[in-house]
Structure 1
């Protein structure tokens, strides 16, 4: 499958973006984003999915640099592989590569059966996108959910 065939809009929608997260802890953020996934039909059981995300967290830090974290759960409780994106008002303590706090969280929800398919390629693309400092700076200053989608789309 060519990279061009991958479509971010299949896994990231405006409904799955919240630029005004209220949570002030890592667990709170994961729960808040999981709830978004749940109400949008991507996850069938919030608590069970959160457990799977936390299980993965124990395997190694998901905090990158410059305020971004990419927690993820591969889970039987994911109905539709998706990405939820949140930005918090206050920076949050998180194990990160640069030791700094986090305020942009990109939560990957991956169906167990999707582990090796297109969706994983999509996730890899997001990771590549996040390696770009300019993109990260844009994420920090964006005002609307639509702008987030546009950044993903233009790198599609």
Structure 2
């Protein structure tokens, strides 16, 4: 399968944002969860965030280069997706390079129901792009949602 096709299927501008305020992990995750809730990807912000934090407790989701990919499966997920936010401030985060993050890709995946396979497929599609320094540079420079989406595609 072609990664680009997968990403174009996954990326939804309605759950992407740039120039987000926030200085903490809580604020960042809550803002992205709100986007998911508004677009009916999740049925409960509280339940979803609780499941994300459970996964956070298992290991670092900051992958370096100012990027974090928090994820987890949740009963509150109605449809799978990835909320992507670029923050104006550096957010303290547990990351592989011990740096804060500015780009957060919050995975939203249904629990059970083969969700883990879809989760791995989405993660593989995104991780391939996030391993590319040019993509990361373009994400960090993005001033609009279109810029951000273009960086991935």
How high is the TM-score relative to the length of structure 2?
Answer: 0.92
Equivalent residue for 1:107?
A: 106
Matched position secondary structure for 2:105:
strand
Residues 3 and 28 (structure 1), Cα distance of their counterparts in 2 relative to 1, 3 Å cut? same
Deviation at 1:150, TM superposition (A): 2.1
The separation in 2 between residues aligned to 1:133 and 1:12, in whole angstroms, is: 20
Please give the per-residue CA displacement for 1:36-95, whole angstroms capped at 9, x wherever unaligned: 000001011000000000000000000011110000121111111000011111101100
Equivalent residue for 2:12?
A: 13
Structure 2 unaligned runs (5+)?
A: none
Please give the per-residue CA displacement for 1:101-155, whole angstroms capped at 9, x wherever unaligned: 11110100011222113x53122110111111111111000111112222323xx
Q: CA RMSD in A?
A: 1.5
Poorly superposed stretches of 4+, deviation over 4 Å: none
Q: Kindly indicate whether residue 90 of structure 2 is the aligned counterpart of residue 116 of structure 1.
A: no
Tell me, yes or no, if the aligned pair for 2:135 and 2:152 is still in contact at 8 Å. Answer: no
Q: Kindly indicate whether residue 125 of structure 2 is the aligned counterpart of residue 137 of structure 1.
A: no
The separation in 2 between residues aligned to 1:87 and 1:9, in whole angstroms, is: 19
Tell me, yes or no, if the aligned pair for 1:65 and 1:97 is still in contact at 8 Å. Answer: yes
Matched position secondary structure for 1:115:
helix
Residues 34 and 4 (structure 1), Cα distance of their counterparts in 2 relative to 1, 3 Å cut? closer
The separation in 2 between residues aligned to 1:57 and 1:5, in whole angstroms, is: 28
Deviation at 1:8, TM superposition (A): 2.1
The separation in 2 between residues aligned to 1:140 and 1:4, in whole angstroms, is: 21
Matched position secondary structure for 1:72:
coil
How high is the TM-score relative to the length of structure 1?
Answer: 0.90
- The number of residue pairs the alignment matches comes to 151
The separation in 2 between residues aligned to 1:50 and 1:42, in whole angstroms, is: 13
Structure 1 unaligned runs (5+)?
A: none
